[in-house]
A and B are shown apart, each in its own frame.
Chain A
Amino acid sequence: MAATTLATAEGKRPSARLRRLEDERWLALVLLTPTAVLLGLFIAYPFVEGVLLSLSSARVGDPGQFVGLKNFYKIWNDSIFHTTVWNTFWYTGVTTVFKLALGLWLALLLNRHFRGKAIIRAFILLPFIIPTVLSTFAWKWMFDPTFSVINWTLFQLGLITTRINWLGDPDLAMTSIIVINIWRGVPFFAITLLAGLQTISPELHEAAAIDGARPWARFWHVTWPLLMPVTLVVVLFSVIQTFADFQLVYVMTGGGPANATHLFATYAYQLGIGTGLLSEGAAISLAMFPFLFIIVVAQLLYIRRVETR
């Protein structure tokens, strides 16, 4: 074996430093150092910095001073922030339900043997791998009130008689954004759930079928419980990504019309970078943290419970 020759060649005079790597603790320390440095410098440090920033009155070009919880008090009474919080929860909740339902349906459709399955699976993932901003522009163009192909289609089908101003009306704009998020997320759900489905032994289904279970009962009592661990993790990732989403809203509406479609991230961007109120922007970003923290802890506890059952 190659390693043997290498080892004997090296083994003649191992330097003191290399010998130290024989100790698992030293080796682990060395192996983890690059990661610790980068994550410390660009995650832990910014986090502390962000907390300090949110407690100050900093603006662009003005370091400001410590003002305590004033920024948080201000956003607490800010009606746009209230809309933002509501939007974020609505957006996350609705898209997650649809992504899970449609993704699971698509996964079940794909969990069979048929010709062209590999190609279809490869193509289905495209919405997920193509850069979000770029595909969102295609959607924005499709939703353009004057040139919309969607309006044309609905009109041809006789469903509408006048144009629909998709991005000009707050509710419709939010709905459009939700549709695009679902479109982008379904492939991820489908492919990961498909992998989960493939680990379920077909014998279980056959046994249930022999016992007289109808397809719906087989799904509900065999597939769904066995798929639960994978489902939970997929949902966890999706919820966090959706909750903290920025790109979709930034491209589609920029938070408009009249600040009606902001999410945490876009509102933080508008205040922090757009108008230069760094401290308030940082406070809005950080306001996501407790929500994210609760979501993560709740999901992790639930996952642990399901896994130990």
Chain B
Amino acid sequence: MIEGALWRRWVFYNIPLILFVFVLLFPFYWMIITTFRPDGELYRPWNAVNYMPFWTNNPTIEHILYLFEETNFMRWMLNTMMIAFVSTIISLFCGVLAGYALARLNFPYAGGLGTAIFVTYLVPQTLLFIPLAEIIRNFQLGDTPWSLILTYPTFLIPFCTWLMMGYFKAIPKELEECARIDGASRWKAMLYIVIPVAVPGILSSGIIAFTLSWNEFIYALVFLSSPDQKTVPVGVTSELIRGDVFFWGPLMAGALLGSIPVAIVYSFFVEHYVSGLTGSVKG
């Protein structure tokens, strides 16, 4: 390589990289240390003599216990998991089929529809949340998981479709033609030949869709109202802050535990996640 002497490598590469990693990960460390810090240490002003930011000698699990005993945290976790899972499945189903049609079939208005999908891909949730809240209420879906299961696909389907179009376009036409020559019908060839080849793409879209639904906030905030229907981000926000009082210990414990399912899914499929992410920005 053209990197040169050892000191140059440290100054130009290693030290900046270490700084990046430190800054990017420090908030998570802060989350963890706060979760296990007893209240007495937690509410000690930063200019107190015995302020000890980076470590605690009296770790406690009282905040985690508070979360499970005094709030519906477990319920929020199950709600979020269920909503994320079902809306991901729906979006994958729609996205794979639509992606296949747009990438591999010739039909009138194919180009226009592709552009339409791309445009909806760019519609942010915050543009439509007020009329959508009205519609959800008119459909009698307010305060039910269905309000989210049916609306999350609006931002997940365009994403999945777009990603799957990329994967489907990369599969050679000959593969399908072989099966067709052997007598397979068009949709059989799709179902048994093309879609199996695109499984890595389906996995990538699914994982990203799952993390996106877990992350969604404004729809869940507006559509849900009763405490036992809430998702983790909304529940933590609305039930652990009373007026001006922040319950920082349980709040950080909730943030930590609420992040764990996403982190686990992510850690198992890092490569798929990354390839999905980079695939999503390919034109």
In the complex, are the beta carbons of B44 and A147 less than 8 A apart?
A: yes
Q: Is the interface of B mostly helix, strand, loop or mixed?
A: helix
B217 to chain A: which residues have CB within 8 Å? Answer: 131-133, 246-247, 250
Q: Is the CB of A126 within 8 A of B105?
A: no
Nearest opposing residue in chain A for B115, CB measure: A300
Q: Answer whether residue A13 sits at the interface, using C-beta atoms and an 8 A cutoff.
A: no
Flag if A278 contacts B130 (CB, 8 Å): yes
A104, chain B: closest CB distance, angstroms:
12
- Judge whether A43 is part of the interface by a CB distance below 8 angstroms: yes
Chain B residue numbers with a CB within 8 Å of A105 are 16
Bound state CA distance, A285 and B130, in angstroms?
8
User: Is the CB of A292 closer than 8 A to any CB of chain B?
Assistant: yes
A134 within 8 A of B: yes
> Is B130 within 8 A of A273, CB to CB?
yes
* Of B42, B53, B259, B281, most A-chain CB atoms within 10 Å: B281
Contact with A along B257-283 (1 / 0, CB 8 A): 011001100110010011001101111
> Is there an interface contact between B105 and A28, defined as CB atoms closer than 8 Å?
yes
Partner pick for B127 among A24, A38, A289, CB 8 A cutoff = A289
For the complex, is B169 an interface residue (Cβ under 8 Å from A)?
no
How many residues of chain A are within 8 Å of chain B by beta carbon? 112
Does B237 lie within 8 Å of A251, measured CB to CB? yes
Tell me how far the C-beta of A55 lies from the nearest C-beta in chain B, rounded to whole angstroms.
12
| Pair B186/A50 contact, Cβ less than 8 Å | no
Residue A91 is within 8 A (CB to CB) of chain B in the complex: no
On chain A, the residues within 8 Å of B211 by CB distance are 129
What A residues does B58 contact at CB under 8 A? none
Chain B residues, CB < 8 A from A42 = 132, 135, 150-151, 153-154
Shortest Cβ gap from B229 to chain A (Å): 17
* 10 contacting pairs across A/B (C-beta < 8 A): A3-B188, A3-B193, A4-B179, A53-B134, A109-B20, A126-B263, A141-B252, A149-B46, A272-B130, A292-B124
Show the binding face of A for B, using Cβ within 8 Å: 1-4, 6-8, 10-11, 14, 18-19, 21-22, 24-25, 27-29, 31-32, 34-35, 38-39, 42-43, 45-47, 49-50, 53, 102, 105-106, 109-110, 112, 118, 120-127, 129-135, 137-139, 141-142, 144, 146-149, 151-153, 155, 163, 183, 186-188, 191-192, 195-196, 209, 215, 229-230, 233-234, 236-237, 240-241, 243-247, 250-251, 264-265, 268-269, 272-273, 278, 281-282, 285-286, 288-289, 292, 296, 303, 307
- Known contacts A126-B263, A296-B122; 13 further A-B pairs (Cβ under 8 A): A6-B192, A49-B131, A53-B131, A105-B16, A112-B1, A118-B270, A126-B24, A138-B28, A138-B252, A142-B27, A230-B281, A288-B127, A292-B127
